[in-house]
Every structure is written in C-alpha cells, then in structure tokens.
Amino acid sequence: FFKKEIFNLNSSKIKNLISSKLNLKIKLNNKKSEPELKEKKSNFVQTIDFIGIHYSEHSLTIAHIKRTGNKTIIIDNVKIKIKTDLIGDFKVENLEEVKRIIEDVIEVFGLQDPPTILLLGSSYFTAKTFKDSELVVFSKKDPTLLKKSPFLPLNTSIEYQRVSGDKLSSYHIVVYAEKIAIDSWLNVLMLLNNPVVALTCGPINLVDKVSQMSNQIFSYLCDIEDSSTTIYIQKKNCGLTSIKLPYGTSLYKSSDKKIQNQYFYRLRDSINKIMEKNTTFEKENIYITGIGLDNLTNGDIRPIEGFERLSNSSMNYELHKENSSKENFLNKSIFESFSILVDEAIS
C-alpha cells in the first residue's frame, strides 16, 4: 500500500545524505541491480543505532533506538518542551539552536552520525484521495489538487501515491503539508548532516499496520493529541482520508476516569456523525493512539469502551531495562511509529 517513509525529500543535499551515508536498504525507488543489493546484504551490520525525533505541539522527543537482529529496543529518550521562539506552531524559527539541541542529545547518547527518523504530528498533514477520473493528468500544480489543499497554493507541499483501487477505479492518495514548515524541518536535517531514514507522520504509517491486522475493508485510526484529534480512514487499496477534529484531551486531563471518559464519549459522537454524513464508510473497529491518549490515561492500559488501543494490540519494540520507568509508557505511540519505520528501513 501507500509507502510513506519519505515526505518531500527531493533536495539533492538530502538525497546525498541518504545515498552516501546510510548503510541500509531504503525504499527510495532504488534502481540498483540485484547483485549490488546482495552485496549490500552480505555486508549488513546486525546492530544499528538510530535517532528518532518526534515533534508535536511544542514537545520534542528524541530517542536512541537500537536494532539488534529482529529486535527493536528503545535504549533511552528525552522529552523537551520547546519555546515558540525556537519552533512556532509548525515552522522551525531558529534552525541553529534546534540543530544544537538535537546534536547535544545525540552526544549524550554516545552516538555519531546515526541514521535519523523525523516524525511530525498529524496536525502538519492532511490526507485526501482522488479517483483517476478526477485527475486526467497528475500534476502537483493541478488546480483540482490545489483547491483541496488547506494551505495557499504557493505554500503547499504535495506527496502522492497511485494505488490499484477496485473494479471501478484506481486512486491517488495525496498528502498535503505546509511548504514553509516542511522546508524548515528539511533545513534542520541538512544542518545535522546525518543519514536520513524518513521525514513523515507516524499515524499515516500506523494506519497501514491497522489495515494489515484487519480483514475488514475499512480501517480507522484516531491520533489523539492534546489540542486536536485526527481520524484516519483507510479503504484497502483504494485510499486514505484524514479528518481533523478541533479538540484533544487537554480539557479532560484528570485522575478521575469519569472525566477522562467524557473525551471518549465526545470522540465517539464525532465519529458517528462522520459515518452518518458519509454512508460509504462501514462501521468497524476503531483504533486509538497518540501522545494525548498516553498523557490522558497516564500510561494506564485500561480498556476503553468502543475503542481498541493500538499499543495493546501489538507492541513491536522493547524498552531497555534501564529505560522502563512509568514515564516512558507515556511515549508508547511515538515508540510504536519509530519501530515500524526501523522495520521498513531494513526489510
């Protein structure tokens, strides 16, 4: 299905970082011959250290991730509250200072030139799907595409993937982002000068996992943040749509589970209204994830009526024994996304 490892990494500098430094097999339309790929595999190092960077809602999480054999281990991580003069709501305002913060953490972790995964929150991205008939000739400058962008045309970055579709049509999945914000993070990656694995959105990758786990036609994943919620709806081989809700968990943070549950009642009501407006969506299991969810429940893995927690379904990473404090259970959704991208990078 739609592979989202790289978002808009088209600059020659970024491509050089990927091709010249990263001793991994990365899905970048690689045109190397089979003998060359086999030679790379024969020289493959079984233990690889990665740096995972996640930014959302003024919170920067940096993790040391080790891949040993088939195991992905979160060795260590730090979470930093970022001032708005460094990073605004979306755009990096002070490139040098943000780069310095990340480099300082990498040095504390004892790493040198680690392959880097950069995840940005769902609020950065909007996903829509178009039928072939809607786009006679695909172009990123197509007025049909740009009209659907939540940003001004000149400030729109577009990435897309054509999928096989159904008997009626093939489809184009289009992911929009604000160009000035994405470019600012690309500049941070270039200043770091480390190998780049991905600049992407974790939940867009996680919804693929939900689809793979399910035999249903439709898959639903809610990415819950403090100030907003994004619902991803994926139809197998036919498309991906994201719907943003203007509320998150910030108003519902409490040790009282009755207050916490008010958020989930509100979310369930919003989903029911979406279903009523779009009768093509079929009611299936609804998975939830996100840092807002982790913070709301304070790491509690209790069941939530009407929803399935993605982290309860399949945790594909381990916490290092010295890094298994309760605080790190508040980062489960981030670690899950890092782990999936590590798996895809070396598969």
How remote is the C-alpha of 272 from its chain's centroid?
25
The pLDDT tens digits of the residues spanning 244-265 come to 999 999 999 998 999 999 999 9
3-state helix, strand, coil in the chain (%, to 5): 40, 30, 35
Locate all alpha helices (DSSP H) within 72-165, ordered by sequence: 95-108, 143-147
Scored b (16 or more CB within 10 A) or e, 102-123 reads beebbeebebeebbbbbbbbbb
pTM: 0.84
Residue 327 is predicted with a pLDDT of: 55
Are 282 and 275 within 8 A, CB to CB? no
Rounded distance between C-alpha atoms, residue 76 and residue 74, angstroms: 6
Residue 331 is predicted with a pLDDT of: 79
Residue 197 is predicted with a pLDDT of: 87
pLDDT in tens, the chain (347 residues): 233 444 434 444 444 444 333 333 333 333 344 454 455 555 555 789 999 999 999 999 999 999 988 889 999 999 999 999 999 989 999 999 999 999 999 999 999 999 999 999 999 999 999 888 887 777 888 888 899 999 999 999 988 888 877 766 788 889 999 999 999 999 999 999 998 888 999 898 888 888 887 888 889 999 999 999 999 999 887 889 999 999 999 999 998 999 999 999 999 999 999 988 887 777 778 999 999 998 898 767 777 888 988 865 556 788 886 655 545 556 788 998 899 888 887 76
The pLDDT tens digits of the residues spanning 181-203 come to 999 999 999 999 998 888 999 89
Tell me the residue ranges of DSSP E strands in 136-211: 156-163, 171-178, 196-200
- Please count the other Cβ atoms lying within 10 Å of the Cβ belonging to residue 280: 9
Residue 144 is predicted with a pLDDT of: 85
From the list 196, 43, 204, the residue with the least C-alpha distance to 121 is: 204
Rounded distance between C-alpha atoms, residue 175 and residue 4, angstroms: 10
Which residues are bridge partners to 74 per DSSP?
A: 65, 319
Which residues are bridge partners to 56 per DSSP?
A: 59
Are 192 and 116 within 8 A, CB to CB? yes
Task: Kindly report the backbone phi and psi dihedral angles of residue 151, in degrees, each rounded to the nearest multiple of 5, phi listed first.
Answer: -120, 165
